Amino acid sequence: MWKVLIACVLLFSAPAMARSLPATQVAVEAAMADSAKGWNSGDLAGFMAIYSDAPDTSFVTKTGVLRGKAVMAERYRTKYDFTNAAKRGVLGFATLDFRLLDPRHALYIGRYTLTAADWSVQSGMTSLVFRKERGRWRIIADHSS
């Protein structure tokens, strides 16, 4: 089952890989892939590594705005079971739009898909603002619905 999902992700990623992408977009998409890899392996710290450590880093939820990486990580820890792959599911991202806002900031708009072991799917949109920090692209604002 996981092999089929991975094959689908690669199939849908192939057109994006075939065209020439700006280096910044390649770097941001690589960071997104690393984050998904952390999620898929049950490594919450690996999943969260893409977020800035800045205290004003934000995540918009249905009930309000969360600030700070530690608060966001606790939300993920309590909402998802990172010790159980079947319950956690497999996370993937598809880029829909990417814009460099200035040399240090970028906007990523995409679709996330979380597929559970029973093939149920949660999917939605995500808008992420990235900032280049010490040579790496980090999320400073996340609005996913």
In CATH, what number does 2-144 get?
Answer: 3.10.450.50
- Which strands make up the sheet holding 136-144, listed edge to edge? 64-67, 58-61, 136-144, 121-133, 105-115, 90-102
For residue 83, count CB atoms less than 10 angstroms from its CB and return exposed for 0-12, middle for 13-18, buried for 19 or more. exposed
Q: Structural domain boundaries of the chain?
A: 2-144
pLDDT in tens, 16-59: 454 688 999 999 999 999 999 999 999 999 999 999 999 999 99
Instruction: Report the predicted TM-score, pTM, of the whole model to 2 decimal places.
Output: 0.83
Q: What per-residue confidence (pLDDT) applies to 86?
A: 85
Distance of alpha carbon 27 from alpha carbon 17, whole angstroms: 13
Structure letter (DSSP) for residue 128:
E
Q: How far is the first Cα of the chain from the last one, in angstroms, to the nearest whole number?
A: 26
